[in-house]
Structure 1
Amino acid sequence: MQHQNGNTVLTKDGIKKNGHSSNGTKSLPENQKVFQENFEETPIYIAVLTYLCYGILVLVGHIRDFLRNTGLENDKACTEPRITGFVPLFQSWESFYTRHVYRRIRDCFNRPICGVAGPTMDVLERTTKDHWWTAEMTGRKHNVINLGSYNYLGFSDCKGPCADAVEKTTQSYGIGTCASRQELGYIDIHQKLDNLVAEYLGMEAAITLPMGFATNSMNMPSLVGKGSLILSDELNHASLVLGSRLSGASIKTFKHNDMADLEKKLKAAVVDGQPRRSRAWKKILIVVEGVYSMEGSVIRLPEVLQLKKKYKAYVYLDEAHSIGAIGSSGRGVVDYFGLDPKDVDVMMGTFTKSFGAAGGYIAGTKQLINHLRLHSHASIYSPTMCPGVCQQILSSMSIMMGRDGTLEGKKRIEQLKWNTQYFRRELIKKGFIIYGNDNSPVVPLLVFFPTKLGAINRMCIEKGLGICVVGFPATPIIESRARLCLSAAHTKETLDKAIAILDEVGDELMLKYSRKKV
């Protein structure tokens, strides 16, 4: 990072070039922030041992399958129960990984909780007698620090101004409209929400929908189709992948956050056109996320927008994990880099994280939003959002905008930023390998070994810390991890306790692989 006149400028290589980028295009705005991404290569011995671990699991699994098929092993517990009159739910080979690897640590996934998922939560304990084909409650529960939910700004609560407003709205409007947006389901509170979201994002108009996943998967087919090209980041969320496939457009992926690879594919698309037809693409849509929920990385949006303008493409930005979570005003990655939101053609986000609610939105020009209102499957077939959920979003968003007459929203945004930087810094000091941007509240802690995934989850629960663990195929095979999520509701004392637990568990399981000197 270099400075000139007190400002920092990013180029394609992240280096100041006297106001111009190295590829000859116009330099970025002078209020940009440097990318502070943490990434450490997997130590070679850890990679080898992780592959060996998977190899042993697969070998033992095949041996046990052979023994069962020959009748030499009587224990059928990890195979699918045969129910008279029903076909098998899983095919034998297709479910091999599920049966022999995933099922061994299934108690670490889908854990039921009771109560509010705030800074702490109560996790219910389950047990099984058939390798997690069925489960029973033991009646025991653990009160743990919650580092597993996306309650970034702490608005997921059952008391306070948001909860009070939701209660009044539910008494006035009821539970739901029981109709779609186009069939008498669109009432005044939905219109109020659409208008506030557009104003909050700095866009001309917005449409809100009751499900975040469907906001991507059901709207993308309305934007592009056959004869169009989608350039998708290789780590994009499943909802974006599904929406791209349903659209019928041609799809090409580019390396994660690699602007050189993106430009290479953009240039080839413009020069070569459609395969076998040599016609120009009707549209080229670049699809990216603001904060990537598995990596904790932030998209290099200034450079994406540069390339979009240079090659006359469109940008679809998914702000699900960045809206409310980063930026001085909590307006996401566009706010974080100080960019003009109108440079983003399609701005998508969800209310399920920072706003403590449900649903999603798409914002853009009035022409775009009117098109979606008429042609989106989510607009035509899905019931509208519950009035109480709308009010939760309206109340939390108003607090973030300061319309409640207090600085509560600003305090929460600043608290989340402080918590994120402090927590990441302390874990790195302990010797853990941590991925992602220094300001990302998603904190991936690398575990590597599949056998240690279950161990770290169970040990943390017993010691009072609730975390999520993620492994192959959701991550690369040698990059299994614990995904930790920060919240503005966490205090320094809470974070210190969580760090102490992770430090203790890390020592017991030998998870401190980092070779960096802090």
Structure 2
Amino acid sequence: MKMRMDECFSQPTTGVAGRTILVLDRISPDYNNTQILTGTRTRALNVSSYNYLGFAQGSGGCADAVEEAIKRYNIGALGSRLESGAGELLYKAEALVAKFVGKEDALISSMGFATNSTYIPALVSKGCLVISDEYNHASIRFGVRISGAEVRLFKHNDMKSLESLLREVISQGQPKIHRPWKKILVVVEGLYSMEGTMADIPTLLELKKKYKFYLYVDEAHSIGALGPHGRGVADFFGVDPRSIDILMGTFTKSFGAAGGYIAGDKTLIDRLRVYGHASPYAEAMPPPVIMQIIASMASIMGIQGAADGSVKAITDGEYHHPGPVPPSALPGWLHLPPALASGAEGNERLRRLAFNARYMHTALRKLGFITYGHPASPIVPLLLFNPGKMNLFRYMMRARVLPIVIVVVAYPATSLLTGRVRFCVSAAHTKEDIDTVLRACDEIGEVLDLKHGRPAGGRWTVEECVLRAKELGCI
């Protein structure tokens, strides 16, 4: 069955993974045992990439800054962090990340997966307990496994299950010896990539006060994409980020770059810089990638004085979270276009993403589809259930007059019977793009018998959803 479905997976593409993408066409003469490229390419609407804020661009202010960074710093870091790879640009970026998320300090890793898998073992060890959401990412599971710590799972996003488990493990202590745990670390994701669900941060913080554990939040998909200022789940729920012990995130989604970060108290981050496996063994992040992070992050935050054209020396003041960044926190040679420097374009991208996400979620439900996730999530999973429908759904989307590239997700990323289409909306998408996807889903859903939902107030037609988009997108 997997071979018959392989046409869905590993689709080769080229160019920038932006609003649209170029797909390399291929055929298979032997039921997907081999794939042969035809030599042609198809331009398709892209709702499959993590380009949440639309910073995946080959031109513009951020791309110009990256080009200048190549001229000044070369392509690679040419060394690990604890050798010769930690340059001035890296320290600038780490200080900027700390300001962005509202923590004392931050460290940057050259790979998102490695951020969890190489730094979690520096946080916990034998005699410690990690309590992990059952749907946590593989990088978290891998990092916990090699740390030597005990691990217990709680039901996905179920705070009653978590509290029950906390009562049990605290009362029983370590296995066999029953001594208190050296440390209890609860690990959750801010936004779950397969479910589109959001961690219940307010309840977690209440439990943290009651049971005195440490809280680790993986914001790979939520940082930059959630909250009125784009600062992630803490911003979305309006809580103080300093109340969360460790904030982890990646730059591969909202910032159009690569790598990841861990932010926390300065004492903790200084320890991780030395004891994390990536620091001595992995090459530090390349300067052009660091520059993409700095430029895109500064575009979201805005630069002090850029909105009214004030002189840098006069406006360069103390940073107040979540506010504009002082010019001194950025490389002196960086000059972003006015729309980016003022934060106006970044704010507009956040608003467009929020509208697109809510519009997509609520419209699909109104059409009768069964979807998962929070309505503010840019990840929109549409349930197909039957694995046999996955390939046909992908094919029918690709065969439309305006081809649409989607991601279908199957076992083992999901359970066998909860296969799904995972739409990823972006600030780069227009309302007309979302309308196009909804019309395609409506037609294909009728053919494949996918409309089994019962929305409150009854179902709407696709044209009614399109005409009342403002109402749906602002719920």
For the superposition of Structure 1 and Structure 2, which TM-score range results when normalised by the shorter chain? 0.7 to 0.9
Counterpart among 140, 143, 148 of residue 40 in structure 2: 140
Match for residue 286 of structure 2? 386
- The answer to whether the 8 A contact 1:302-1:339 is kept is yes
Which amino acid letter does the alignment assign opposite residue 418 of structure 2? E
- The answer to whether the 8 A contact 1:232-1:288 is kept is yes
1:397 aligns to 2:297 (yes or no): yes
Counterpart among 379, 393, 402 of residue 442 in structure 1: 379
Q: In structure 2, how many angstroms separate the alpha carbons of the residues matched to 1:304 and 1:125?
A: 47
Q: CA deviation at 1:343?
A: 1.0
Counterpart among 59, 63, 75 of residue 175 in structure 1: 75
Q: CA deviation at 1:312?
A: 1.0
Match for residue 421 of structure 1? 358
Q: CA deviation digits over 1:275-320, x for unaligned, max 9?
A: 1101000000000000001110000011111111211100110000
1:512 aligns to 2:440 (yes or no): no
Counterpart among 191, 200, 205 of residue 291 in structure 1: 191
Q: CA deviation at 1:196?
A: 0.2
Match for residue 370 of structure 1? 270
Match for residue 12 of structure 2? 112
Give percent identity, aligned residues only.
50
Match for residue 12 of structure 1? none
- The answer to whether the 8 A contact 2:117-2:144 is kept is yes
Over 3 Å off, 4+ runs: 129-134
Which amino acid letter does the alignment assign opposite residue 242 of structure 1? F
Match for residue 62 of structure 2? 162
- The answer to whether the 8 A contact 1:431-1:513 is kept is yes
Q: CA deviation at 1:132?
A: 3.5
Match for residue 426 of structure 2? 487
- The answer to whether the 8 A contact 1:151-1:353 is kept is yes
Counterpart among 219, 223, 229 of residue 323 in structure 1: 223
Q: In structure 2, how many angstroms separate the alpha carbons of the residues matched to 1:370 and 1:246?
A: 21
- The answer to whether the 8 A contact 1:427-1:434 is kept is yes
Q: CA deviation digits over 1:187-225, x for unaligned, max 9?
A: 000000000000111100000011000000111111001
Q: CA deviation at 1:131?
A: 4.2
- The answer to whether the 8 A contact 1:402-1:408 is kept is no
Secondary structure of the residue that 2:417 maps to in structure 1? coil
Q: In structure 1, how many angstroms separate the alpha carbons of the residues matched to 2:233 and 2:147?
A: 26
Match for residue 61 of structure 1? none
Which amino acid letter does the alignment assign opposite residue 125 of structure 2? G
1:463-502 equivalences in 2 (<5 Å): 463=400, 464-502=403-441
Match for residue 256 of structure 1? 156
Q: In structure 2, how many angstroms separate the alpha carbons of the residues matched to 1:228 and 1:349?
A: 23
1:3-402 equivalences in 2 (<5 Å): 101-402=1-302
Which amino acid letter does the alignment assign opposite residue 188 of structure 1? E
- The answer to whether the 8 A contact 2:21-2:44 is kept is yes
Q: CA deviation at 1:136?
A: 1.8
Match for residue 42 of structure 1? none
**Where do 5+ consecutive residues of structure 2 fail to align?**
304-340, 459-475
1:461 aligns to 2:367 (yes or no): no
Q: In structure 2, how many angstroms separate the alpha carbons of the residues matched to 1:181 and 1:472?
A: 37
Q: CA deviation at 1:377?
A: 0.5
Which amino acid letter does the alignment assign opposite residue 410 of structure 1? N
Q: TM-score when scaled to structure 1?
A: 0.80
Go from structure 1 to structure 2 and tell me whether the alpha carbon gap of 1:194 and 1:264 turns closer, same or farther (over 3 Å shift).
Answer: same
Q: TM-score when scaled to structure 2?
A: 0.87
Which amino acid letter does the alignment assign opposite residue 408 of structure 2? V
1:409 aligns to 2:346 (yes or no): yes
How many residue pairs get matched?
A: 418
Secondary structure of the residue that 1:498 maps to in structure 2? helix
Q: In structure 1, how many angstroms separate the alpha carbons of the residues matched to 2:208 and 2:173?
A: 16
Q: In structure 1, how many angstroms separate the alpha carbons of the residues matched to 2:124 and 2:61?
A: 41
Q: In structure 2, how many angstroms separate the alpha carbons of the residues matched to 1:466 and 1:117?
A: 11
- The answer to whether the 8 A contact 1:142-1:462 is kept is no
Which amino acid letter does the alignment assign opposite residue 401 of structure 1? M
1:503 aligns to 2:436 (yes or no): no
Secondary structure of the residue that 2:384 maps to in structure 1? strand
Q: In structure 2, how many angstroms separate the alpha carbons of the residues matched to 1:132 and 1:262?
A: 44
Q: In structure 1, how many angstroms separate the alpha carbons of the residues matched to 2:204 and 2:173?
A: 20
Q: CA deviation at 1:473?
A: 1.8
Q: CA deviation at 1:501?
A: 1.1
Q: CA deviation digits over 1:114-144, x for unaligned, max 9?
A: 1111111111122234444432201232221
Secondary structure of the residue that 1:143 maps to in structure 2? strand
Which amino acid letter does the alignment assign opposite residue 371 of structure 1? R
Which amino acid letter does the alignment assign opposite residue 454 of structure 2? R
Q: In structure 1, how many angstroms separate the alpha carbons of the residues matched to 2:4 and 2:145?
A: 32
Q: CA deviation digits over 1:376-404, x for unaligned, max 9?
A: 00111110111000000000000000121
Q: In structure 2, how many angstroms separate the alpha carbons of the residues matched to 1:361 and 1:391?
A: 15
Q: In structure 2, how many angstroms separate the alpha carbons of the residues matched to 1:297 and 1:406?
A: 28
**RMSD after superposition:** 1.0
Which amino acid letter does the alignment assign opposite residue 465 of structure 1? I
- The answer to whether the 8 A contact 1:107-1:126 is kept is no
- The answer to whether the 8 A contact 1:290-1:299 is kept is yes
Match for residue 49 of structure 1? none
Q: In structure 2, how many angstroms separate the alpha carbons of the residues matched to 1:154 and 1:395?
A: 13
- The answer to whether the 8 A contact 1:210-1:384 is kept is yes
Which amino acid letter does the alignment assign opposite residue 367 of structure 1? T
- The answer to whether the 8 A contact 2:301-2:343 is kept is no
Secondary structure of the residue that 1:218 maps to in structure 2? helix
Secondary structure of the residue that 1:438 maps to in structure 2? coil
Q: In structure 1, how many angstroms separate the alpha carbons of the residues matched to 2:51 and 2:39?
A: 26
Q: In structure 2, how many angstroms separate the alpha carbons of the residues matched to 1:165 and 1:515?
A: 49
Secondary structure of the residue that 1:208 maps to in structure 2? strand
Q: CA deviation at 1:348?
A: 0.2
